[in-house]
Amino acid sequence: MKNQTKGSVYPCLTYNDAEAAIKWLCRVFGFTKRLVVPDETGGVLHSELSLGSAVILVGSPRVENKRVSPLELAGLHQMLSLYVPDPDGHHDCAVAEGAEVVQALENTHFGARGYGVRDPEGHCWHFSSYIPGQYWA
């Protein structure tokens, strides 16, 4: 089967303040808010944000499903990796907006360029020029 690089995994991220997180992700990382469905308590039941062809889902904590913000966890539990055509420009914007850099902007030995940051609630992100699967397609 030939590799398809179009995504079919849609990470669902939990934030204590999902509405603030959506605004931050759009302003700092360049996501576009596509859909927000409020829940009965004023939180976010479901939302969809896009960056290029990538889509993430953002929501409020759900105690019944044991979904919590990374602020409630003792350590790193995941890192999202996304393609951006201009890692340097993306990095500069994120840093100017106060994103916490956890991996400096650098070139890799396999020809990509990227950096890692942590958002205000502790989710880790890696933005780079790397597109997984191209070397084995």
Query: What tens digit of pLDDT does each residue of 52-101 get?
Result: 989 999 999 998 989 999 999 888 778 999 999 999 999 999 999 999 99
Q: How many domains does the chain have?
A: 1
Residue 5 lies in a domain: no
Q: Please give the Cα distance from 22 to 53 (Å, whole number).
A: 17
Residue 133 lies in a domain: no
Whether 49 and 58 have beta carbons less than 8 Å apart is answered as: yes
Q: Please give the Cα distance from 68 to 16 (Å, whole number).
A: 7
Q: Give the CATH number for residue 46.
A: 3.10.180.10
Domain that holds residue 27: 12-128
**Residues 6+ away with beta carbon under 8 Å from 59:** 12, 13, 14, 15, 18, 43, 44, 45, 46, 47, 67
Global pTM reads: 0.86
pLDDT at 111: 86
Residue 2 lies in a domain: no
Residue 42 lies in a domain: yes
